[in-house]
């Protein structure tokens, strides 16, 4: 991954876009919890799509995403950047990663649900596909 600097605020690599989807999900409600951060770190460390990425990349992308969210149009711009960076085959992956982060705290709040809806629309995902991904994320992280 190329380190994002001021000039890099306009585009992401596919890996950066996937990380940004998770970061925005976590930060959209104004706070990033320890559970969400741990989930993101584990996903980046475990999934093949993140081969070669590590904590330094997550930190750099997090900084870029948080800067985006400071702007009134930043959320929409971030979603557009995510969509532009991802080939169609990775758009469902981005949505799944966002759902996994949303499930880190148990139930998603209204800001998170709104973000998921905006992300689904921005990624041009079918509602049924998105619903199946959401249900799979809930099922995967159920507790006894």
Which CATH number characterizes residue 80's domain? 1.10.3680.10
Nearest CA to 75 out of 111, 110, 108, 115 is that of: 115
Domain of residue 74: give its range: 6-140
- Give the per-residue pLDDT at 138: 85
Q: Give me 94's structure tokens.
A: 């981005």
Mean pLDDT of 6-12: 61
Residue for token pair 């649900």: 113
- pLDDT tops 70 at residue 6: no
Four-residue CA torsion sign, 16, 22, 25, 27: negative
Q: Is residue 1 in some structural domain?
A: no
Task: Render pLDDT for 88-127 as a digit per residue (tens, 0 to 9).
Answer: 999 999 999 999 999 887 777 888 899 999 999 999 999 9
Task: Render pLDDT for 24-62 as a digit per residue (tens, 0 to 9).
Answer: 999 998 888 888 888 998 999 999 999 988 888 888 999
Domain total in the chain: 1
Which pTM value belongs to this model? 0.89
In degrees, to the nearest 5, what angle opens at C-alpha 19 toward C-alphas 99 and 34? 70
């Amino acid at each position: 991954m190329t380190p994002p600097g001021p000039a890099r605020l306009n585009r992401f690599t596919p890996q950066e876009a996937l990380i940004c989807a998770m970061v925005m999900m976590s930060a959209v409600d104004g706070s990033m919890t320890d559970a969400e951060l741990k989930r993101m770190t584990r996903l980046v460390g475990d999934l093949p799509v993140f081969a070669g990425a590590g904590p330094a990349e997550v930190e750099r992308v997090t900084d870029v995403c948080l800067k985006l969210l400071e702007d009134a149009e930043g959320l929409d711009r971030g979603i557009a950047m995510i969509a532009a960076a991802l080939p169609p085959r990775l758009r469902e992956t981005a949505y799944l990663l966002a759902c996994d982060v949303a499930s880190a705290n148990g139930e998603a709040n209204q800001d998170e649900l709104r973000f998921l809806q905006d992300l689904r629309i921005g990624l041009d995902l079918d509602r049924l596909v998105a619903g199946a991904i959401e249900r799979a994320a809930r099922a995967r992280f159920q507790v006894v």
